[in-house]
Amino acid sequence: MPETKHGDKFIVPIGPQHPALKEPGHFEFTVDGETVTGASVRLGFVHRGIEKAAEERTYIQDLYLLERICGICSHVHAMAFALGVEKLAGVTVPERAQAIRVLVAEMERIHSHLLWLGVAAHEAGFDTLFMYAWRDREKVMDLLEQLCGNRVNYSINVLGGVKEDVNDVIRDGILSAMDYLETRTVLYLKLVTTERTLIGRTRGIGIMEKQTAARLGTVGPTARASGLERDIRLEAPYAAYLQYPARIVTEQTGDLEARFIVRVKELYESFRLIRGILSTLPGGELTTKMPRRIPEGETISRVEAPRGELFYYIKSNGSDKPDRVKVRTPSINNFASVMATAVGHKLADIPMILSGIDPCFSCNDRMVSIRGSEGQQAVDWEELRLYGIEYYR
Amino acid sequence: MSENMKSILSLLIFPGGLAVMAAGMIYEYIDRKLVARFQNRVGPRWFQPLADFIKLLAKEEVIPEGIHPVLFQWLPVVAIAGALTSALYVPMFGVEPAFHFTGDLVVTIYLLSILTLCTGLAGANVANRFSIIGATRTLTQLFSYEAPFLLALFGPAIAAGSWDIAVIEQYATSHPWLMVFQPIGFLVALIGLMGKLELPPFDAPEAETEIVSGALTEYSGRGYALFRLGRSVELVIGLTLVAAFYLGGVANPLLFLAKTLGLLLIIAALQSLFARLRIDQTVGLWWRSGAVLVLLQLLVLIALKYFGVAI
Amino acid sequence: MIVTQTEENLEEVQTLLAQLAIAYTRPEENRIDVILPPAKLVEAARIMEDTGFWYLSAITGVDHSSSADTTNEEKAWQRVVEGEEQTGFGYSGVLEALYHFCKGSVVATLRVRMGHANPNLPSICGVVPSASLYERELMEMFGISIEDTPVKDHLLLPDDWPVGVYPLRKDFKGFGQPEVEGGANA
Amino acid sequence: MKIGSLIGDILKSFFKKPATILYPVERIHAPERYRGQLFWEPEKCSGCQLCVKDCPSNAIELIVLDKVNKRFVMRYDKDKCTYCAQCVASCRFACLNMNSDQWELASLRKEPFTVYYGKDEDVSFLLAERAATSHLHSTE
Amino acid sequence: MDLPKAWEAALVDLKTWARINSPWAIHFNSGSCNGCDIEILATLTPRYDLERLGIKLQGSPRHADVLICTGPVTRQARERLIRTYEQMPDPKFVVAVGSCGITGGAFEGCYNVANGVDKVIPVDVYIPGCPPRPEAIIFGVSQLLQSLQPPKKAKNRNAIVTNPITGSTPKKGVGE
Ligand code: SF4
Ligand code: SF4
Ligand code: SF4
Ligand code: SF4
Ligand code: SF4
Ligand code: SF4
Ligand code: SF4
Ligand code: SF4
């Protein structure tokens, strides 16, 4: 890392992390005395060069390549890409296929939120909640496996529709699992709003005002926890969300607790949508014919991933390979918001802000090393936090 | 048998050495199994702690660069020796302690702290940032729970009017359970024990998601095995002490088993119930609630004693 | 309450940016593309900001050359500068940056174009702070230089990445297998 | 605010049967649609190569021994496959299918991952030919 | 004097037994899509509960015996992967999980990846799948453990299923 130092300005790097669950990142904060004057992030520990590879492969191959940008919200990636390409090709996808896409998307949201709840609990050292959340998540995973043929990277999309259909057995299975999960969600909501040891680590932490959240382009539950009504499912309905409208869940406080609550409450919303879809699933075909060469043009495809708006830009040149595919994942928007909220804060606040935005951050290496004039000085997360307490005393 | 032979035997085999180690492993297994069951899973097999221990012994021991190698190697030995020695003063398995003298309660408690101190030193000795933070946290936590824990064990001592563990135990056996009269002391002792063993929710010093494995991050192989075993041994001794003092003594092996296992059940449940406390929350908890409450109770006890009320 | 007033929003953008734009198109019913000279970019971004398009969804870089025709790029660029080719897409020798601003279902895209030889852009971080990450991506992936952006470090690529190699340009063909594997064994 | 809200649940779990499936001891079956190892039937194949073209990870290769008589051998790499079933969807003659029961694919070596499908005589012909050429190379 | 020899053999057996029954793992993401990672994490949760086989996930490479590695190894991750591997004390084993950790899978040929873990560090077990089911991961790990078993006892211990894949003989799929 380049070490820069002007006067009493230090660079404070955080990360790259201990190898564990999600994307590793690396953050650097420039501090002037006490105040953070700049922040930067370094990603790319999992950068594989997918966007370039997408230009070199056919649309069909890209569908699976892009699905593998991320195993947690793989379906929305494939769906966003498929919707975009279908738009470019001028193909109308059968209603039943669109409904099944939405069904899988909502099931994916449930799995993703439960996964997040578990990981966040694990981060807070609450292993029992982690175990319970993941145990209940297995219900959804089983159903996805039954419906799509795989637990992760479902690959249910093809260009022009979906591969698999919902039959009666699967429908009944999903409905009864939804009932079970609903009773469990009651417990989770109770836990995140009343369990004292948990609240001790979430309430009032990492507050982001609505205005800030809006200006920084925060997306997804992080934005909604700050009271921002941003949800692509409503703003620009795609696939079958016009027929099955979602309802927005927001909280006003904008702290970590609010983010817990929003995510848990969104589970209810997903249960409702899934029940709606299954009770009035339109009939008809699953796929429609797709050309292999996509007419020249460009399009933008936006979908609401579990973590917020996912943005695809696809440009075709008339051949069977795209000319450019730009993927903007929700996480990067939320990174931007941390980077910017950090500026102007005291150094002592940084750990709070980082952990407050998204659990992915908090599992990035908690190590901070301050590069001062007397060589390197190691400061850990905890010391920094204690230092913060001291500072505010 | 000469006195010397007897002490060597009791140090090596019973109750000092092998027996306590075996008990440590069994109790560790039960603890892990219980937690697993509370989390609705199967949990480890019965020989798991033994396999872990042997495997660690058989592993390569990496000595990191830039540290004091002698210290690095001997700290674990001292740690476990401390824990084992303290077993000599505790009425294990309902049998009279191997040694006792007036004031051995204080000695035992300090022997029990040796492990923690060694852990702290071991962490500070290593030039790994995680270890150092872990060490700092370990010691911070030590200072926070040590005093309340000590005070909590003094309650029964005052009631019995002796600092001799065996005498207190006899007093506890012949009187109604002290837990009823000194509920605060009991709770603080039990939770203090959890803090001492760095069990969740007091596991901030070795929080995996924050600082990898805390002070022992750099230890591999034998050293790590000994530290782990030492902790299991402390678990047994701590449980014994609490059971002997607060649960009406451990007069025979059956009672001993029943009572310590009962305590273990409570501890395992507590472990599964809470989110980890941050180190400042831990410190706050101990000083603000733990210490103050026990102190109050002690004062009441002393006052009662002074006025000659039978407790 | 989320309101989608697609048409009104589109009209608004169109009128407000009229004096800055070289041209605009309406590729889809919820989209408007406004082509701008790089010098007007910051001003346009500020106008977007003021009209409630404060949400910058992404910045996309596009290399319009097909890898075969980079030889002609300067000529092609000349045609763009001279205004022969101001709308549409698919012409060669041009790098383009697309700033996607969103409001409700509307996506308004500011498009600025540059030649391959010396691509330059002003930073809009002063107006939209969250643009920083995307601008870094443009710099390292396309080699567009953005002088006044706050942070210029690599975002995605390794620190030992060769200078002057921009993976998302069409003339980048990868390093080939041996290089990567050889590197792995080192 | 409450402390220990989970107490009811952990007690329930304690007395309940664990949610664990004892996998290596008891073998379990994946659902019917599960996409395990790919299989290919030579009889129906027309040699159109669509499956190969659409595969996102170059996991399959159709080796043509004799185009006129439709003698094909399919090389399949289990370690490259992403188990996406695009090839199955692409094939108009339903030559391909993914077996829901063959998912225990782990191996200590990489060699078993490459398999050849086809009529027995074709596969042995191909393998013999390959062995011969590799022998030639090594003696050179 | 036969006794020392017999003792030595017993000691070796004991060590092997302990090693097989207490494989502690550390998990390293070298550029995977998270798919394999969440499946690895899932193996620890109540449904699969690897603790019953003695497997524990460790945070420190110093405590680990098995390095579970996912992803095609990006340029940035390579150094750290090697470092993590070197920090582990002997004996150590590497498990490559997922097709992209074995050959690069869908990312084969991308400019920023090394196409597989074994291009960087030696690998002991390969577990293909994208991602492999948690059961398949357990199966792979049990293959590794079985291979540590002394040959004579390899069969009937631990009730570990044997590898159903036998060489390269072509098989017909079920359901045809
Ligand atoms: S999506 Fe972005 S970060 Fe991911 S591989 Fe592609 S270019 Fe890299
Ligand atoms: S936000 Fe990105 S990393 Fe997270 S689940 Fe979605 S695609 Fe994956
Ligand atoms: S925001 Fe968090 S979960 Fe999402 S991709 Fe980033 S690190 Fe992963
Ligand atoms: S987010 Fe946390 S758990 Fe996940 S990889 Fe990063 S540091 Fe590890
Ligand atoms: S801290 Fe959490 S994410 Fe990291 S290795 Fe442990 S379980 Fe996995
Ligand atoms: S399943 Fe997918 S990756 Fe595997 S061979 Fe078929 S198309 Fe290729
Ligand atoms: S798509 Fe079907 S018919 Fe065509 S080559 Fe492949 S297997 Fe044969
Ligand atoms: S093998 Fe598949 S699921 Fe696993 S990390 Fe690679 S792409 Fe993701």
CA distance C109 to C99: 5
Q: Is A238 helix (H, G, I), strand (E, B) or coil?
A: coil
Higher-confidence residue of D124 and B289: namely D124
What's the token pair of residue A165? 């259909």
Half-sphere exposure of A267 (CA within 13 A, CB side): 31
**Given a cut of 60, is residue C137 above it in pLDDT?**
yes
Answer whether E173 sits within 8 Å of D97, measured CB to CB: yes
CA distance B191 to B294: 12
In CATH, C2-117 is 3.40.50: no
Q: What is the CATH number of domain E7-160?
A: 3.40.50.12280
Handedness of CA B11, B17, B19, B21 (dihedral sign): positive
pLDDT for the residue C156:
66
Contacts of E59 in chain A (CB under 8 A): 18
CA distance A239 to A247: 16
To which H or E segment does residue C33 belong? strand C31-36
The answer to which of A105-109, A315-319, D14-18 has the lowest mean pLDDT is D14-18
SS3 per residue for chain D: CECCCCHHHHHHHHHCCCCCCCCCCCCCCCCCCCCCCEEECCCCCCCCCHHHHHCCCCCEEEEEEECCCCEEEEEEECCCCCCCCHHHHHCCCCCEEECCCCCCCCECCCHHHEEEECCHHHHHHHHHHHHHHHHHHHHC
CA distance C66 to C80: 16
User: Which stretches of chain E are DSSP H helices?
Assistant: 3-21, 35-42, 75-87, 99-102, 134-148
Phi, psi of A4 (to 5 degrees): -120, 145
> E12 to chain A nearest CA, in Å?
33
Annotated domain spans of chain B: 10-306
DSSP string, A257-312: HHHHHHHHHHHHHHHHHHHHHHHT---S-SB----SSPPSEEEEEEEEETTEEEEE
Within 6 A (CB) of ligand 1 lie A 47-51, 69, 327; C 156
Q: Identify which of C74-83, E38-47, E110-119 has the greatest average pLDDT.
A: E38-47
Q: List the residue whose alpha carbon is closest to atom 8 of ligand 7.
A: D45
- What is the four-CA torsion angle of E57, D79, A142, A101, rounded to 10 degrees? 120
E7-49: per-residue pLDDT in tens?
Answer: 777 777 777 787 778 888 888 877 777 788 888 888 888 888 8
Contacts of D22 in chain B (CB under 8 A): 42
Put residue C111 in one of left, alpha, beta given phi > 0 → left and psi -120 to 50 → alpha.
Answer: beta
Q: Which CATH number do you get for residue D64?
A: 3.30.70.3270
CA distance C58 to A333: 9
**Given a cut of 70, is residue E89 above it in pLDDT?**
yes
Average the pLDDT over A103-110 and give the result: 90
Nearest to A367 by CA among C70, C73, B75, E59: E59
Please name the residue of chain E whose CA is at the shortest distance from the CA of residue C181. Answer: E114
pTM for the model stands at 0.81
Average pLDDT, chain C: 70
pLDDT for the residue D20:
75
Average the pLDDT over C109-122 and give the result: 80
| Interchain contact B199–A (C-beta under 8 A) | no
Looking up tokens 């763009």 gives C80
**Given a cut of 50, is residue D106 above it in pLDDT?**
yes
CA distance A60 to C13: 36
Average the pLDDT over E53-74 and give the result: 81
Average pLDDT, chain B: 73
Average pLDDT, chain D: 80
Higher-confidence residue of A71 and A98: namely A98
Handedness of CA C34, C40, C42, C48 (dihedral sign): negative
- B236 falls in which pLDDT band (50, 70, 90)? confident
In a domain, D39, yes or no: yes
> Is residue D58 within 6 Å of ligand 6 at its C-beta?
no
Q: Which CATH number do you get for residue A118?
A: 1.10.645.10
Higher-confidence residue of C144 and A82: namely A82
* Residue C37 CB partners (closer than 8 Å, separation 6+): C22, C112
Which mutation among A73, A154, A327 tests ligand 2's pocket best, with the greatest number of atoms within 8 A of CB?
A73
What's the token pair of residue B40? 């609705």
Nearest to B64 by CA among B139, B138, B119, B125: B125
Average pLDDT, chain A: 74
CA distance B271 to B33: 12
Contact between residue A217 and residue A341 where contact means Cβ atoms under 8 Å apart: no
Contact between residue E146 and residue E154 where contact means Cβ atoms under 8 Å apart: yes
CA A276 to chain centre: 24
In a domain, A154, yes or no: yes
**Given a cut of 70, is residue A250 above it in pLDDT?**
yes
Nearest to B129 by CA among B214, B198, B202, B224: B214
User: Starting from the edge strand earliest in sequence, which strands make up the sheet with E66-70, in order?
Assistant: E56-57, E24-29, E66-70, E93-97, E125-127
CA distance C152 to C132: 9
User: Distance of CA B87 to CAs A219, B84, B111, Å?
Assistant: 58, 5, 9
Answer whether B36 sits within 8 Å of E60, measured CB to CB: no
> E13 to chain D nearest CA, in Å?
22
Nearest to B274 by CA among D5, A378, D120, A268: D5
The answer to which of A135-139, B80-84, C174-178 has the lowest mean pLDDT is C174-178
pLDDT for the residue C179:
38
- B246 falls in which pLDDT band (50, 70, 90)? confident
In a domain, D20, yes or no: no
Owning domain of residue A180 = 50-318
- E167 falls in which pLDDT band (50, 70, 90)? very low
Look up residue A346 and give its DSSP letter: B
Percent of chain B with pLDDT over 70: 68
In a domain, D90, yes or no: yes
**Given a cut of 80, is residue A292 above it in pLDDT?**
yes
Nearest to A339 by CA among A216, A225, A179, A157: A216
End-to-end CA distance of chain A: 34
A57-87: per-residue pLDDT in tens?
Answer: 888 888 888 888 777 778 888 899 999 999 8
CA distance A199 to B176: 39
CA distance B81 to B61: 20
Please name the residue of chain A whose CA is at the shortest distance from the CA of residue B213. Answer: A18
The answer to which of A311-320, A322-331, B157-166, D45-54 has the lowest mean pLDDT is B157-166
| Omega before residue A237 within 30° of 0, cis | no
Average the pLDDT over A243-251 and give the result: 84
- E81 falls in which pLDDT band (50, 70, 90)? confident
CA distance A125 to B202: 9
pLDDT for the residue B309:
58
- A361 falls in which pLDDT band (50, 70, 90)? very low
Examine chains B and E and say if they touch (3+ CB pairs below 8 A).
yes
Neighbours of A185 (CB within 10 A): 22
E92-112: per-residue pLDDT in tens?
Answer: 889 988 888 888 777 776 766
Which mutation among A119, A360, A362 tests ligand 4's pocket best, with the greatest number of atoms within 8 A of CB?
A360
**Given a cut of 70, is residue E159 above it in pLDDT?**
no
Predicted-complex ipTM score: 0.79
User: Starting from the edge strand earliest in sequence, which strands make up the sheet with A35-42, in order?
Assistant: A35-42, A26-32, A9-14, A367-371, A376-380
pLDDT for the residue E88:
82
- E157 falls in which pLDDT band (50, 70, 90)? very low
pLDDT for the residue D91:
87
- D137 falls in which pLDDT band (50, 70, 90)? low
End-to-end CA distance of chain C: 58
Contacts of D123 in chain E (CB under 8 A): 170
Phi, psi of B114 (to 5 degrees): -60, -40
What's the token pair of residue E161? 């299923």
Percent of chain E with pLDDT over 70: 80
Owning domain of residue D70 = 30-124
User: Which stretches of chain B are DSSP H helices?
Assistant: 3-12, 18-38, 48-58, 69-86, 104-125, 129-160, 165-174, 178-181, 183-196, 208-211, 221-246, 253-273, 279-284, 292-306
B100-126: per-residue pLDDT in tens?
Answer: 667 777 777 887 787 777 777 777 766
Q: How far does the centroid of ligand 8 lie from the alpha carbon of residue E119, in Å? A: 17
CA distance E119 to C182: 9
Higher-confidence residue of A83 and E114: namely A83
Nearest to B207 among A125, A128, A132 (CB): A125
D54-105: per-residue pLDDT in tens?
Answer: 888 888 888 888 888 888 888 888 888 888 888 888 888 888 888 888 888 8
CA distance C33 to C51: 16
pLDDT for the residue B15:
55
C148-186: per-residue pLDDT in tens?
Answer: 777 667 666 666 676 777 777 776 666 544 333 333 332
pLDDT for the residue A354:
57
Please name the residue of chain C whose CA is at the shortest distance from the CA of residue A328. Answer: C58
> B212 to chain A nearest CA, in Å?
8
Higher-confidence residue of C103 and B92: namely C103
- E163 falls in which pLDDT band (50, 70, 90)? very low
The residue count for chain B: 311
Size of interface A-C (CB pairs under 8 A): 109
Annotated domain spans of chain E: 7-160
In a domain, D114, yes or no: yes
- D4 falls in which pLDDT band (50, 70, 90)? low
User: Distance of CA B290 to CAs B141, B181, B247, C180, Å?
Assistant: 13, 17, 20, 60
> A285 to chain E nearest CA, in Å?
24
Nearest to E33 among A71, A115, A134 (CB): A71
Which chains lie within 8 Å of chain A at 3 or more CB pairs, if any?
Answer: B, C, D, E
**Given a cut of 80, is residue B281 above it in pLDDT?**
no
Phi, psi of D40 (to 5 degrees): -135, 140
pLDDT for the residue E101:
84
What's the token pair of residue C139? 């710099």
Q: How far does the centroid of ligand 7 lie from the alpha carbon of residue A101, in Å? A: 27
pLDDT for the residue C86:
43
Contact between residue E132 and residue E125 where contact means Cβ atoms under 8 Å apart: no
User: Distance of CA A159 to CAs A89, A94, B121, C170, E127, Å?
Assistant: 10, 12, 62, 26, 29
For chain A, how many structural domains are there in total?
A: 1
User: Distance of CA B24 to CAs A282, A315, B30, B236, Å?
Assistant: 63, 66, 10, 6
Examine chains B and D and say if they touch (3+ CB pairs below 8 A).
yes
What's the token pair of residue D102? 């063959």
A191-237: per-residue pLDDT in tens?
Answer: 878 777 777 767 766 677 787 777 777 888 888 888 888 888 888 88
User: Distance of CA A353 to CAs A256, A269, B180, C80, Å?
Assistant: 10, 28, 46, 46
Which mutation among A14, A21, A23, A364 tests ligand 3's pocket best, with the greatest number of atoms within 8 A of CB?
A23
**Given a cut of 60, is residue C76 above it in pLDDT?**
no
Neighbours of B225 (CB within 10 A): 22
